[in-house]
Structure 1
Amino acid sequence: MNLSKRAFLYVIRKRGKSLLLILIFFIIASLVLCGLASLEAERNKSRELRGTTGAGFTIKAKERWGNSENDGSGNFSNVAETKPLSKKMIEKIMSIDGIKAYNANFPTVLAFYDEDGTPYRNDYNDVDPDSSDYPLNLFQGNSCTNTEYAAWFLNRKIALTEGRHITKSDQNTIIISDKLAKRLGLKLGDKISAVINPQEDDPYVTLTIVGLFEVLADEEDPKNSLDSMTLNDLYGGYSYNWFTDMKSMEALNKNYSDGKDSLEESCNLTDFYVNDPKNLERIMQAVQDIKGIDWDDYELIANDEVYERAGDSMSKISSLIRTLMIIIVAISMCIVTLLLTLWVRSRMHETGILLAAGITKISILLQYILEIMLLALCSIPLAYVCSRGIAGGIGRMLGETGVIVTTQHLALVCSFGIPLLIAAVLLSSIPMMRLSPKEILTKTN
C-alpha cells in the first residue's frame, strides 16, 4: 500500500481524532485570518489618517531687535527687522518630493465696519467706549494663500463649520469664527468693510464672509495661548481672529507695500503641508539642506500635533493586534504539538508493524505529515469562508467598515501555517525517530 493511501485511510478510520484536529486547525486559522484582516484595516486607516491630519512644518522669519526708528518728534523706538520668505525660496522648498501645498501668512490688524460705516466693536477687553481713546473696532488676523493649510486648521485648533476655505484665486473674502459672527450679528454671505488705519488715507475693502469656523482648542489652557501666527492676545483669542485672501490684503496694504509687487514677498510666516507625516523628518532635513537659505534668519517648526496624538493611538492598537496574534499562534503551536506527540505515542504498535513490513522511518514520517496536510486542507478553506463573515461582524462591532478577509490573507496563513504544522509533526515525532526499530517493536509488545 502506498504512502498516500495509508495516510487517507488512517484519517478516515480515526474520525474522532481527525475531527478534533480539524476543529483546532479551523479555530486557529479563523482567529489568525480575522487578526490579519483587522491589522490590515488598521494600517489602511492609519494610511488614510496620515493623508488627512494635515501634518507639515512652518518656516518663520526671525525677528532681530535693536534698530532705532525716529517718529519725527525726536523720539526713537526699537524696530524688529526680518527677512521675509522670497518667492524663490518657496519655489525651492515646494520642489522637494513629498510636499503637497503651502500657505503664506501675513498677520495684521484691521478695523471692521458694517456696510453703513458703523464700527463693529471688539468686546474682548470689555472696555467702556466713553472712557477710552483706544479704537474698539480692531480685530487681528491673517491673510492667507490657502486657509485649508493654515496651521490652526491643520492642528485642529479650529475647524470650518460652514462655507468654504479661502484659496489663492479668491478676492474680497473673509472667514471669521461662529462666535464672533454671533456677537456681531453676522452670517455666511454678509459683508464687512475693512481698513488698516481709518485715520489715514488708507483704502477700504468690502469683504464677503465665505466661511465660519469653530474653536476646538481650550482657550483657557496656557499651552493653547496664541502662537506666532498672530500679533498678540490684545485683540482676543482664537474666536476673535479672522482670515482673508492675499489679494484683498494687497489692496488694503497699498500704502505700506514698500514697492513689492506681491504681498507674499513680505510674509514672515509660511506653512507647508506634506503628503505623509511619516516622511516629515526626512522632508524637513531636505529643506534645511537647500543651498542659498541662511537658517540663522529663519525657524523651522514641525506641525504634527494631530498626527502624533492619533498616530500613537493607532500604533498601540496595531501593536495589540500583532501581540494577540503572536500569542494565539504560540499557544496553538504548543497545543497542536502536544496532541500530535500523544497521537504518535499511541501509534507505536502501528509504527512497529510498518517497520517490520520494511517501510522506513522517513516514509512513516512523510505519512504523518501528509495526514496533517489532509486535515489542514479540510479546515483552512472552511476557516476562510467562515472568517469573512466573522471579520465583518467584528468590524461592525468596532465601527470599522474595512475589516475584510482577502485571498492574500489566506495565502499568508497557508505560507506560514503549513511550515509550522510540518515543524509540529517533526517535533512531535522526535521521540519515535530516536528509537531503533528493535526498541519500537519491543515497546509494542
Structure 2
Amino acid sequence: MKEKKRILLSLFRKKSNMFLLGILFFLLFFMLVSVSIYNTSRDTISAIERTYGTSFSIGLTPDKNDMNQWEDRAIEGMDSPVRTYIGPNVDEAMVRRITEEVEGITDYEAGSRADVMLYEYELVPGYHAWSYNYFTTHEHHLPYDPEETKNMMYITYTYHTRNSCHFDQFYNGAFRLTQGRHITPDDAFKCIISENFAKRNHLKLGDTLKIDLHSLNVRAKYPIESLGSVETEIVGFFELTYQQTVTQYTEEIDILENWVITDNEAGRALDEIIGRPYYLSASQFFVENPAELDEVMEQVRQLDWIDWKYYELVKDDGLYSQAVKPLRTLKIIMAVCLVVIVTSGVLLLMLVILHSMKRRKREAGILMSLGITGKEIRKQFLGEHLALGLTAFFFALIVSLAVTPGIGNQIYGAVNKGGEQKVYTEKEIEAAIARGENSKVAEMSRNQRTGVEPPKELTTRVEVKTALLVFAMMLLIVYYSVNEAIKKTLKLEPIRVLSMIE
C-alpha cells in the first residue's frame, strides 16, 4: 500500500485525530492572537518613542550645601529673606555651542517662562475674577482690599520659545495651530495666542499684544502693579484639542487659553525690566534616530568645558511615559500568555501523540516486518500529523483574522482602564477644600493634559509575518513531538516491537 493511501486511511479511521486537531486548533489560534497583540503593542510603543523620544535636556543640579551657589535676598513684603540660586546656569549660548560641537544633534529648543499681566485685556475668567466679583458684593473681613488684588485676574503665563512647534503643548498635541504660523529662531517680539482669547478682545493676526511684568515678580505685597511692558506682534492663533474643564476654582494662570507663547527676545526684554539675567528653564536637544540618543548624550558628557558638578543630562521621556505604560503592560501580559500557551500546548500535544504512538506500535511493527524502513514510517506519521496541523492552522487563521481586532481592543481596554485624564467636579474640589488639602485643590482645579495621551484603541491585525511565524512554529512543534514519540520504537527490531504489544 502506498504511503499517501496509508496516510489518508489513518486520518479517516483514527478517532483520536479529531481530539488532536482540536488541540492544534486552539494552540495555533491562541498563538496567532497573542503574537499579533504583542507585535501591535510593541510597534505602537516604537512609533510613540520615534515621535516623542528623540530628545534630551540639560538641567541644573544645585548643591544645597554649597553656600557659593546661594544667596539670601530680602523681598519687599516678606518678613524673612528668600534663599535664591546664584550659581552657574543654562543660557542659549551654552545650548548652541553643544549643538555645534556634538555630531548627531539635529536641532535644539531653548526657552523660559514668566508670570505676566495682560492688564488691558479680558482673560477667560477663573478663580480671581469670581473672587473679585464675590468679595466686592458681599460683606467679608479680609486682610486686604479686593481692589488691591483685582489685577490677579489678569495674570497668566508667557512661554518663550525658539521654535514654538517644540513647545510641550504643541508637541504633545494639546494645542493645534489654527491660523498664522509658528514662532521661528529668526523672530523677535512675536507671539501666538488662543482663538478664544483673540475673540474676547477682538484681536487679529498682525495686531499688537501688550504684555506687562507685574510687581509680584519682585515684591510680595499688594497692590499689584505693572513694572513695565513689552509689545509683541500676533503671528498665530491656537486652539485646544480637548476640553479643559474650568471651574470657579481654576486660576486664570492655569487656564490654557489665557497662555501667550512668545519668542526669546520678548522674554529677554521682560527680564530686563527688573534687571534680571535671562536664563533658560527649558533646553532640549533633538536627534533624528531614537536608537542614537544614548550615544549622543555620551558625546555631550565628554565635553570638557562643561563642569558636570553643576549640570546633568536627562532623557525627555516624561512627555510620553504615561502613554506607553498600558502598552508595556499589555506587551508583558501577551509575552507571559504566549509562553504559558506554547509550553502547556506543546506538553499536551506531546502527551496525546505519545499515547497515540503507543497504540500504534502494532502497526509500526507490521510495517517494519513488511520491509518498510523506519525513515518511511517516520515520514508517514509526520505526514499524518502535518496534515492535521495544516488543517488546524487554516481554521485557526480564518477565525483569528475575524476576532483578533476585537480581542485586542477588549484586553487593551481592560489594561488601560482609567488611563484617561481625570476631570474633577466642583463638589470633589469643595470636598478637598473642606479637608484642608490645599495643594491637591490647586492640582485638581487645573484639569490640564500633561503629556501624550495613550491610544484610545489598539488596531490589532494578524499580519503575514505573524502567520508565517506561527506556521513555522507549528511545523517545528509537530516535527519534534512526532520524532520524540516514535524514535524509540523505530530503533527496535520488528519482532521486538510486536513482542511489546500486550
- The TM-score by the shorter chain falls in which range? 0.7 to 0.9
DSSP-derived class of the 2:347 partner: helix
The counterpart of 2:238, out of the listed 211, 217, 222, is: 211
1:98–1:394 Cα change, 3 Å? farther
- Aligned match of 1:425: 482
Kindly indicate whether the alpha-carbon contact (under 8 Å) linking 1:352 and 1:444 is maintained by their aligned counterparts in 2: no
After superposition, what is the alpha-carbon deviation per residue over 1:244-303, rounded to whole angstroms, capped at 9, x for unaligned? 223544666777899x9xx8xx64641335567676555433322234333345343443
DSSP-derived class of the 1:290 partner: coil
Count of aligned residue pairs for this structure pair = 412
AA matched with 1:324? C
Give the TM-score normalised by structure 2.
Answer: 0.65
AA matched with 2:321? E
Give the TM-score normalised by structure 1.
Answer: 0.72
- Aligned match of 1:328: 341
Whole-Å separation in 2 of the counterparts to 1:121 and 1:37: 48
- Aligned match of 2:432: none
Greater Cα offset, 107-116 or 249-258: 249-258
Greater Cα offset, 276-285 or 344-353: 276-285
AA matched with 2:110? A
Whole-Å separation in 1 of the counterparts to 2:49 and 2:168: 16
The counterpart of 1:172, out of the listed 181, 190, 214, is: 190
Identity of aligned residues (%): 19
- Aligned match of 2:420: none
Q: Quote the offset at 1:337 in angstroms.
A: 1.3
1:349–1:187 Cα change, 3 Å? farther
Kindly indicate whether the alpha-carbon contact (under 8 Å) linking 1:195 and 1:205 is maintained by their aligned counterparts in 2: no
Whole-Å separation in 2 of the counterparts to 1:306 and 1:121: 27
DSSP-derived class of the 1:350 partner: helix
DSSP-derived class of the 1:392 partner: helix
Q: Quote the offset at 1:425 in angstroms.
A: 0.8
AA matched with 2:190? N
Kindly indicate whether the alpha-carbon contact (under 8 Å) linking 1:105 and 1:268 is maintained by their aligned counterparts in 2: yes
Whole-Å separation in 1 of the counterparts to 2:42 and 2:150: 59
Whole-Å separation in 1 of the counterparts to 2:52 and 2:85: 37
Answer yes or no: is 1:113 the counterpart of 2:112: no
CA RMSD for the aligned pairs?
4.7
Whole-Å separation in 1 of the counterparts to 2:121 and 2:245: 32
Whole-Å separation in 1 of the counterparts to 2:340 and 2:85: 65
- Aligned match of 1:363: 376
Whole-Å separation in 2 of the counterparts to 1:200 and 1:374: 86
Whole-Å separation in 2 of the counterparts to 1:295 and 1:271: 17
Please give the residue correspondences for 1:20-59 in structure 2 after superposition, counting only pairs within 5 Å.
20-53=19-52, 56-59=55-58
After superposition, what is the alpha-carbon deviation per residue over 1:84-126, rounded to whole angstroms, capped at 9, x for unaligned? 434464353377576564321133454433279x9x9994997
Answer yes or no: is 1:437 the counterpart of 2:453: no
Kindly indicate whether the alpha-carbon contact (under 8 Å) linking 1:93 and 1:287 is maintained by their aligned counterparts in 2: no
Kindly indicate whether the alpha-carbon contact (under 8 Å) linking 1:62 and 1:297 is maintained by their aligned counterparts in 2: yes
Answer yes or no: is 1:150 the counterpart of 2:167: yes
Answer yes or no: is 1:316 the counterpart of 2:329: yes
AA matched with 2:399? C
1:400–1:30 Cα change, 3 Å? farther
Give ranges in structure 2 of 5+ residues lacking alignment: 63-68, 75-81, 133-143, 215-224, 413-455
Kindly indicate whether the alpha-carbon contact (under 8 Å) linking 2:374 and 2:490 is maintained by their aligned counterparts in 1: yes
DSSP-derived class of the 2:174 partner: strand
After superposition, what is the alpha-carbon deviation per residue over 1:5-39, rounded to whole angstroms, capped at 9, x for unaligned? 35434334425343443333233222211222111
The counterpart of 1:304, out of the listed 293, 317, 342, is: 317
1:177–1:302 Cα change, 3 Å? farther
Kindly indicate whether the alpha-carbon contact (under 8 Å) linking 2:409 and 2:459 is maintained by their aligned counterparts in 1: no
- Aligned match of 1:128: 145
- Aligned match of 1:222: none
AA matched with 1:102? Y
Q: Quote the offset at 1:412 in angstroms.
A: 0.8
Please give the residue correspondences for 1:242-261 in structure 2 after superposition, counting only pairs within 5 Å.
242-249=260-267
DSSP-derived class of the 1:272 partner: strand
- Aligned match of 1:229: none
